[in-house]
């Protein structure tokens, strides 16, 4: 009976390390792909740091503040709200749902939230 325990332990360790690896990949992998998607689809209006693009605001005839995704009123919003706005569009923002998959939109939401977090931390540091 005793030798049976070894394959079990090794099997368990193997499964556990695979699980750990896939979690790591998810947490480190999501941001770069969100960043790429953001650069390809959103930067021309929302700017590199999601703080809004001045020329885009001018040509869209919107207040530049509306393009700033790191402002407080957007930081307060839920992931669900962000997903819906990205997918369905918002005012002068064209819907992105037809061009992006739900998982791409999810990566974008995570990326925007990471920019928001960085911005909030910086703003607190500046005080
Ligand atoms: C053609 C320009 C344009 C592009 C491209 C664009 N947006 Fe927007 N986006 C806007 C405008 C304009 C608004 C503000 C609309 C309003 O407030 O009436 C907006 C609003 C938003 C909001 C809601 C913010 C709020 O005020 O609640 C989110 C979230 C957002 N955009 C995310 C994205 C993401 C992510 C992408 C890329 C996939 C993207 N946008 C691409 C123009 C654009």
Distance of alpha carbon 31 from alpha carbon 112, whole angstroms: 9
Domain ranges of the chain: 29-126
39: left (phi over 0), alpha (psi -120 to 50) or beta: alpha
Residue 115 near ligand 1, beta carbon < 6 Å = no
> For ligand 1, is residue 43 a contact (CB within 6 Å)?
no
Half-sphere exposure of 34 (CA within 13 A, CB side): 22
Structure tokens at 104: 């791409």
Domain 29-126 falls in which CATH fold? Cytochrome Bc1 Complex; Chain D, domain 2 (1.10.760)
Query: For residue 38, how far is its CA from the centre of ligand 1 (angstroms)?
Result: 11
Which pLDDT tens digit goes with each residue over 37-67? Answer: 999 999 999 999 999 999 999 999 999 999 9
pTM (2 d.p.) = 0.79
**CB of 62 shorter than 6 A to ligand 1:** yes
31 vs 102, which has greater pLDDT? 102
Alpha carbon distance 84, 17 (integer Å): 35
Entry field: residues in the chain: 127
């Amino acid at each position: 009976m005793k030798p049976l325990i070894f394959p079990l332990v090794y099997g368990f360790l193997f499964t556990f390390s695979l699980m750990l690896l896939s979690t790591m990949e998810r947490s480190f992998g999501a941001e770069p792909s969100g960043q790429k998607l953001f650069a390809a689809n959103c930067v021309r209006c929302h700017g590199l740091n999601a703080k809004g693009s001045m020329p885009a605001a001018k040509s869209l005839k919107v207040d530049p503040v509306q393009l700033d995704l790191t402002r407080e009123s957007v930081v307060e919003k839920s992931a669900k709200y962000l997903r819906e706005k990205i997918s369905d569009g918002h005012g002068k923002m064209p819907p992105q749902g037809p061009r992006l998959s739900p998982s791409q939109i999810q990566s974008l939401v995570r990326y925007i939230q990471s920019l928001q977090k960085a911005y909030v931390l910086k703003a607190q540091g500046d005080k």
